[in-house]
Structure 1
Amino acid sequence: MPPSTPRSRRRARPTTGSKSREEAGLPPDLDLARREFLSAMRVEAGLSPRTLDAYGRDLDRSLGWLAKGGLKRLAQLTQAQVLDYLKSRRAQGMKEATLAREWVSLRMLLRYAQSEGWIGQSPLALMPAPKRQALLPSVLSPEEVERLLAAPDGDDWRAQRDRALLEVLYATGARVSEAVGLSTDSLAPELTSLRLHGKGDKTRIVPLGEPARLALTAWLEGGRRKRLAGRSSSHVFLGQTSKPLTRGSAWRIVRAAALKAGLSQKISPHTLRHSFATHMIESGGDLRSVQEMLGHASIRTTEVYTHLDSEHVRSIHRLYHPRG
């Protein structure tokens, strides 16, 4: 869910505006409104640079199209113009999920504009959002996971690191950013659990199973120690130059292991997260516990895995029931 625009107090306006415009009581033009909105979201809502970039790209597309149609200020925007924009994007073959995201970005901008007094009622206030298609995440079977985890062979430092990374991703359901961001002080004594730093700077503790514990121990006491050669680093996973492993490198490790394991799907680190959650629920894990281990703010986000489990139950019924 996108953050709501702060309204409880008047904000210190960003210094991107024109003094003469403010003195004249004029609302900003489209470009300035966009810049002031993004500045406020950065300072007040604390959005990450990646999220701000996504909002910015969405608004560049929608406001750019609307400006070509003659729109100069947000107060002139009508619901009909937004509908025309969405129709144009659909004609270009855009997916509903993309349109829904762009609609949300525009709605956020209009909420901010309303709180600043630039517009009256938002033209999107009574307009339903484009419907997102409910896409179920890609999930590996337990047998496919075993093949993936066994893919890195050998005892060199790369194989030890790759095995440890894959085991941690599947054992904890960690996001790739959480895994590559692991520090040594996030490890419990005897590696019984990990402390993961998730979205919104929230932390959670997730247990480690025996296979993951053994793989991580082998990496920490073997390949990692040799790579550092007496130097110090707080990062658990290291790259080629003994600097922290990057997200991109983690993706490549997972993809390489999938290729070696003969898996035809487009496997990503998030596939292991989805597989972790699905296998937990299929094995009887309760939804609330899985939510906590995944670090989901809302249990509704976790509920998608119950749909996956329902598919599993139906397939078992079809396979084994006499009248399935």
Structure 2
Amino acid sequence: MARTRSTGPRRPDFRSVRAKLPEPLARAVDGFERYLAAERGLSGHTVRGYVADVVSLLDHLGTGEAADVAALDVSVLREWLSAQHGHGASRSTLARRTAAARTFTAWAFRSGLLPVDPGPRLASPSKQRKLPVVLREEQAGEAMRASALGAEQGDPVALRDHAMLELLYATGVRVAELCGLDVDDVDDERRVLRVIGKGDRERVVPFGLPADRALGRWVSAGRPALSKESSGAALFLGVRGGRIDPRTVRRVVHEAIGAVSGAPDIGPHGMRHSAATHLLEGGADLRSVQELLGHATLSTTQLYTHVTVERLKAIHDRTHPRS
């Protein structure tokens, strides 16, 4: 019997709530959305998340005719977060919504909609940072070998899936970054990718020989079989010839890792965690891994050091005579 995964309490669709906002609040949401997309250059997914949180905040502020952004003060912000907590929002969700509220109040203050910015007075709940679930090196190797065997028959989809798996593990790129790759982003001679990450930041990421071979077979033998006039320059294609969809990549990764005995159930982001962990365990320095992954701050990359420390402790407990 299939299991259903609980995602916590459901909140109303923000689009329906947004449509009911009074005109002054609706204009503020529109302006904030334009700011996030045009000036901040955030991804569509991130913009939608921020806007959804701000719509919830302004809906809490009130929907009467007298509703005004200027009435937004620190007490309203705290009441809103308290209500979110009461409805079962997790600590990480509250931290994200606090960040969205602060971003909005800072923008509203600069735009003249607020006389003062109450955001800095709003305490942010600390996140409970969980250690990422990662593959062991032998599990990653088994998944890649099984994928390579599947691609030996030359089926275009199997060639594509093997190349995607190898590239995800070799580079640690995000699933959106992988889907956004064009053929010209691959430098075969230097074995590097040109990747456009969060905030349109560009970086160059190297990859090894196994990924190079898998990618070469896909481009030469697999991609032409799926390519159509409308395919454009996309590196990875779906079965209908368009650019590959992130959902397809997630399915491919889940199926490949699910076939490995004892492996955790991970997706593309788990492959990214695994790549970072194995790099650090192999002796890579933290700053280099930060550059490879495209993390804006070193603190994000430092999470992986806890993984390696936990592994070292487990090895010590298992092998040291006086552990």
CA distance in 2 between counterparts of 1:204 and 1:124 reads 33
1:59 CA displacement: 1.1
Deviation for aligned residue 1:38? 1.9
What amino acid maps onto 2:96 in structure 1? R
- 1:193 offset after TM fit, Å? 2.2
| In structure 2, distance between residues paired with 1:231 and 1:123 | 50
* AA matched with 2:175: V
Matched, 1:284 2:279: no
Cα distance in structure 2, aligned partners of 1:226 and 1:32: 49
* Match in the other structure for 1:180: 179
Cα distance per residue 1:250-286 (max 9 Å; x no partner) = 1111112122234563311111111000100011101
One-letter identity of the residue aligned with 2:73: T
Distance 1:85 1:287 in 2: 39
Q: Give yes or no for the alignment of 1:260 onto 2:259.
A: yes
Q: Say which SS state the counterpart of residue 204 (structure 2) adopts.
A: strand
Correspondence 1:235 to 2:234: yes
Deviations 1:285-317, CA, capped at 9 Å, x for gaps: 011111111112222221111121111121122
Counterparts of 1:118 and 1:184, CA distance in 2 = 46
Partners of 1:83 and 1:279 in 2: CA distance:
42
Q: Which residue of 1 aligns with 2:84?
A: 89
SS at match of 1:129: coil
Aligned to 1:114: 109
Is this contact kept in 2: 1:74–1:110, CA < 8 A?
A: no
Q: Is the 8 A contact 1:62 1:102 kept in 2?
A: no
Paired residue for 2:315?
A: 316
Q: C-alpha deviations, 1:19-42, integer Å up to 9, x for none?
A: xxxxxxxxx833332222222333
What is the Cα deviation at residue 118 of structure 1?
A: 2.7
Tell me, which stretches of 5 or more residues in structure 1 are unaligned? 1-27
Given the superposition, is the C-alpha separation of residues 176 and 112 from structure 1 closer, same or farther in structure 2, using an over 3 Å criterion? same
Residue 73 (str. 1) matches residue 68 (str. 2): yes
Give the Å deviation of 1:98.
0.9
Task: State the distance in 2 between where 1:182 and 1:39 align.
Answer: 26
Residue in structure 2 matched with residue 139 of structure 1 by the alignment: 134
One-letter amino acid matched to 1:204? R
Give the equivalent residue in structure 2 for 1:44: 39
Distance 2:146 2:262 in 1: 11
Distance 1:260 1:222 in 2: 26
Contact 1:71-1:77 at 8 Å conserved across structures: no
TM-score relative to the length of structure 1: 0.83
User: Which amino acid in structure 1 is aligned with residue 131 of structure 2?
Assistant: L
Q: CA deviation at 1:190?
A: 4.0
Distance in 2, matches of 1:69 and 1:133, equals 37
Q: Which runs of 5+ in 2 are unaligned?
A: 1-22
Cα 1:306/1:42, change in 2 over 3 Å: same
Name the counterpart of 2:200. Answer: 201
Residues 69/125 of structure 1: CA separation in 2 closer, same or farther (3 Å cut): farther
| Local SS of the residue matching 2:130 | coil
Cα shift readout 1:42-62 (whole Å, capped 9, x = no counterpart)? 333233322221111111222
Contact 1:157–1:223 (8 Å) recurs in 2 = yes
Distance in 2 (alpha carbons) for counterparts of 1:72 and 1:106: 17
Q: Which residue of 2 aligns with 1:273?
A: 272
Counterpart residue number, 1:129: 124
Aligned amino acid, residue 53 of structure 2: D
Q: SS of the counterpart of 2:117?
A: coil
For 1:167 and 1:218, locate their aligned partners in 2 and report how far apart those are by CA, in whole Å. Answer: 12
TM superposition score normalised by structure 2: 0.84
- Quote the sequence identity (%): 37
One-letter identity of the residue aligned with 2:318: L
Q: Tell which deviates more after alignment, 187-196 or 158-167.
A: 187-196
- Aligned positions, number: 297
Q: Is the 8 A contact 2:135 2:264 kept in 1?
A: no
Which is further off, 60-69 or 250-259? 60-69
